[in-house]
Amino acid sequence: MARLDSDLLRTFLAIVEAGSVTGGAGRIHRSQSATSLQLKQLEAVVGQPLLERHGRGVVLTAAGQRLFPVARQVIDSLDRALASFRTDNIEGRLKVGIAEDAADGHLADVLAAFCRTHPRVELEVHCAFGEGFSTAVSNGKLDLAVYEVPEVGPTQERLYDERLVWMAARHCDAACRDPLPIAVFDRSCWWRNAALADLEASGRAYRIVFSSENVLGVRAAVAAGMAVALLKERAQDDTLISLPEMAPPRSSHTILDVASHASGDAMNALRNAIQLKCLGLKRSEALWN
């Protein structure tokens, strides 16, 4: 009986996240020919091609898209199981800030895996709006922070970028009302300021009908047809439509900010874990798109 082999799944993930067979081979420390052979073996087991060439790299086929989340779950589970039997000598205490909108499943998984792999490191995680993280890193209240900014500073490391676009509910006339009903954050921040700047530049009359302390609340107001709002492009689904006539898209940069005093094995290990995860996400998303 044909079975999915974890070693073949690991090779598949390496190729997908690297964007090419050559890059995947480097990740798993095998030759390109051996890596290609393992991919062919996995495709033989599945009975369908998983990747197809695209330019100098590869992209997922429909079968590859179905297998990718399964492979990711299996390999993550195996790695967590192995880590539970291992300990290391890295120890210390780190104060970490994660912006609410960045603290999704991906970064939560990174922190959880880090704690399992490095049980002697004590993490103190603060999940907040992110507006005060830059100051907290500068004055030493945080050792490391992941949050969003409109522009990347000279000491900040770009992890990934997203686009902000104006959106409205698909089957609603909110975008046609006068004055325009909008939903925004309930506190001063660059995202709220950007939304208001777009409206001022357009010269259109508006009124704030809904405010929330987080993105989920703003999106909910838009989906309900109460208002329009500036949201991340990935928030769009069948219930929402973009409003390109409102304003050009804006860029939001998720960055890694490390305090100048922060150093040592614990800091380096956590920093590397976050960097690797975000690199994998960027490459995987590029393949899916």
Residue range 25-58, pLDDT digits in tens: 888 888 889 999 999 999 999 999 999 988 778 8
pTM over 0.75: no
| Res 234: pLDDT | 82
Domain annotation covers residue 1: no
The total number of residues shown for the chain amounts to 289
Let me know whether 167 and 149 are in one domain: no
Pair 150, 253: CB distance under 8 Å:
yes
Q: Nearest-5° angle of CA 74, CA 75, CA 81?
A: 95
One domain, residues 257 and 157: yes
266 and 198 part of one domain:
no
Residues 78 and 109 in one domain: no
pLDDT digits 0-9 by tens, 85-127: 766 678 899 999 998 776 565 687 788 888 888 888 999 999 8
For residue 258, give the CATH number of its domain: 3.40.190.10
Q: Is residue 17 part of a domain?
A: yes
Which among 63, 83, 103 is the end of a domain? 83
- 143 and 24 belong to one structural domain: no
Q: Are residues 172 and 248 in the same domain?
A: yes
What pLDDT is attached to residue 282? 53
Strand residue runs (E) in the chain = 51-54, 57-60, 92-99, 121-128, 144-149, 157-169, 180-185, 206-212, 229-232, 240-242, 250-258
If asked whether residues 112 and 62 sit together in one domain, one would say: no
Residues 188 and 213 in one domain: yes
According to the model, what pLDDT value does residue 184 have?
Answer: 95
The H-or-E segment that residue 83 falls in is helix 62-83
Domain that holds residue 39: 6-83
Pick from 157, 101, 155: which is nearest to 131 by CA? 101
The amino acid that residue 273 corresponds to is A
Overall number of domains in the chain: 3
Instruction: Report if residue 44 sits inside a domain.
Output: yes
Instruction: Report d(CA 65, CA 50) in Å as an integer.
Output: 8
Can you give the pLDDT at residue 215?
86
- End-to-end CA separation in angstroms for the chain: 34
Angstrom distance (rounded) from CA 252 to CA 267: 25
Low-confidence ranges of the chain (pLDDT < 70): 1, 84, 86-88, 102-106, 279-289
The pLDDT score that the predictor gives to residue 289 is: 45
Question: Distance between CA atoms of 51 and 33, rounded to whole angstroms?
Answer: 16
In a domain, 226, yes or no: yes
Residues 178 and 237 in one domain: yes
SS3 103: coil
Q: Which residue has the tokens 């020919």?
A: 33
Kindly state whether residues 175 and 247 are assigned to the same domain: yes
56, part of any domain:
yes
